[in-house]
Amino acid sequence: MLYPIFEYLDKVMDIPGTGVFRYISFRAGMAALLSLIITITFGKNIIAWIRKKQIGETVRDLGLAGQSEKKGTPTMGGLMIIAGIIIPTLLFANVNNVYIVLLLITTVWLGGIGFIDDYIKVFRKNKEGLAGRFKIVGQITVGIIVGATLYFHEGVVVREFTNPISIEEGVVETPAYKDVKVAKTTIPFLKNNELNYENFLGFLGEDFTSVLYILFVIFIITAISNGANITDGIDGLAAGTSAIIGLAIAIFAYISGNAIFSQYLNVFFIPNSAELVIFCAAFVGACVGFLWYNAYPAQVFMGDTGSLMLGGVIAVLSLALRKELLLPVLCGIFVIENLSVIMQVSYFKYTKKKYGEGRRIFLMSPLHHHYQKKNIHEAKIVTRFWIVGILLAIITLATLKLR
C-alpha cells in the first residue's frame, strides 16, 4: 500500500532521497522490523486474548517427558505469524506483483484451513479436527491456483540476455534480452543447472504437460505443508526451521531478481521476483518473533493455523523462484519428519500382516518424538535440528556455483 506512495514521491514529485524508499533492501528491512514488532509487541495481547477465550491445547498422552505441563497452553498462535506476514507485505511490497498476490492467497487460504482445524479441536472438543480429506481438498485447490498461474500467466517469465552484462567504469551495460514464457526449473549437475519441463514431458503434448506440471505443484505444496505440520510437535521446532529456510529463500529471491548476480551465479533472472525478498523478510521476522513466545517452554503453540501455512508458503516461494527441485535438501527436516511417519506406519502394517504383530523402526514417530523417547531434552533436540537445518540451507545455497 505504501509502494505507490514511494513511487509517486520519487518519480513524480522527484524529492531528493526518496528513491531509497523503493529499494528492495530498505523495504525488506522495514518489513522484517515491522513483522518483529507485530509478533513480539502485540504477541502478549494476542496470547492474553487466546487465554481469555480458553483456546488451550488438548494434549494426547504419548508418554513423553514434560508432556503434561503443556496441557492448556494457548494454541492458534499461528494467527500471530499470519498477521506478521500479511501486514508488512501489504505495506511495503508491490501488491500488483503476481508472485506477491499468489503468496498472500496461499497464506490466507492455508491459514484458514488450519484455523478451521484448530477451531474444531478446541471449541467442538473434537481431537480429530478437520477431516483429512477436507484438508487435502484445500491444499489441492491452492495447488491448482498456484500451478495454473505459474504455467499460464504472461507475467511469469524468465529473462534471457543475448550477451553477458558488462560493467564499464561503474556503468552497467545491459545487452538486448527477451522474456521467455517457459516452464524451466533449477536442478544441479545438469547442463546450465536447468530442467525444462516442456522438453522433459514434451512427447505428451502441450496440454498434458500443463496438467502434469499442475499436479506436480499440488504434490509439492501438499508434501511440504504436511511436513511442516508434522514437524510442529515440540517447542520452537517448526518456527525455527521455517525461519532458516525462509532466510535461504530470501537470498535466492534477491539473486534471482538481480540481473548481474543472477548471471554471474548462473541463476535464472526472473523479472519482478525481487519483490519476494520483502515477503521473505516478513516471513522470517514473523517466525523469529513467534519464537519469542514459542521457544521452550512455550507460552503459545502455532497450531495448524500456522504450521500448514508455513509449509505451503515455503513451497510456493520455491516454485515461484524455480527452486522446487532443491526442496528435498532445503526442507530436509520437513522431509525426514514426513518420511519417518510413512516408514513407521508402513513397516508396522507390513510386520503385522506378516508376523501377526506390528513392529516399529523408531521408538515413536515423527522423528523428534523418537529422540524424546530416548530421554533427550526437547530443547536439545530442537537446537540440533536447527543446526542440521542451517547445514542443509548452506548446502542448498552452495548449488548456486555448480555448473
The model's pLDDT over 55-100, given as tens digits with 9 standing for 90+, comes to 655 555 555 665 666 677 888 899 999 999 999 999 999 999 999 9
70: three-class secondary structure by DSSP: helix
Residue 202's pLDDT is 65
Residue 320: which of 193, 208, 220 has the closest Cα? 220
* Cα 165 to Cα 143: distance, rounded to the nearest angstrom: 36
* Residue pair 187/194 in contact by the 8 Å Cβ criterion: yes
Does the pLDDT at position 126 exceed 90? no
Give the DSSP letter of residue 300.
-
- Residues annotated in a binding site: 229, 304
Taking residue 381's Cβ as centre, other Cβ atoms within 10 Å add up to: 23
Q: Binning pLDDT at 50, 70 and 90, where does residue 190 land?
A: low
SS3 content of the chain, % helix, strand, coil (to 5): 70, 5, 25
186: three-class secondary structure by DSSP: strand
Return the biggest CA–CA distance within the chain. Answer: 79
233-245 average pLDDT score: 95
Q: Looking at 112-121, 194-203, 255-264, which range is the least confident one?
A: 194-203
Does the pLDDT at position 203 exceed 70? no
Does the pLDDT at position 390 exceed 80? yes
Taking residue 311's Cβ as centre, other Cβ atoms within 10 Å add up to: 30
159: three-class secondary structure by DSSP: strand
Please name the residue that has the C-alpha cell 542440521: 388
Does the pLDDT at position 344 exceed 80? yes
Tell me what the pLDDT averaged over the chain comes to.
Answer: 88
Does the pLDDT at position 402 exceed 90? no
* Residue pair 359/347 in contact by the 8 Å Cβ criterion: yes
Phi-psi region of 129 (alpha: psi -120 to 50; beta: other; left: phi over 0): left
Residue 317: which of 265, 358, 366, 270 has the closest Cα? 270
* Cα 87 to Cα 25: distance, rounded to the nearest angstrom: 18
- Residues annotated in a binding site for Mg(2+): 229, 304
* Residue pair 289/82 in contact by the 8 Å Cβ criterion: no
The model's pLDDT over 276-333, given as tens digits with 9 standing for 90+, comes to 999 999 999 999 999 999 999 999 999 999 999 999 999 999 999 999 999 999 999 9
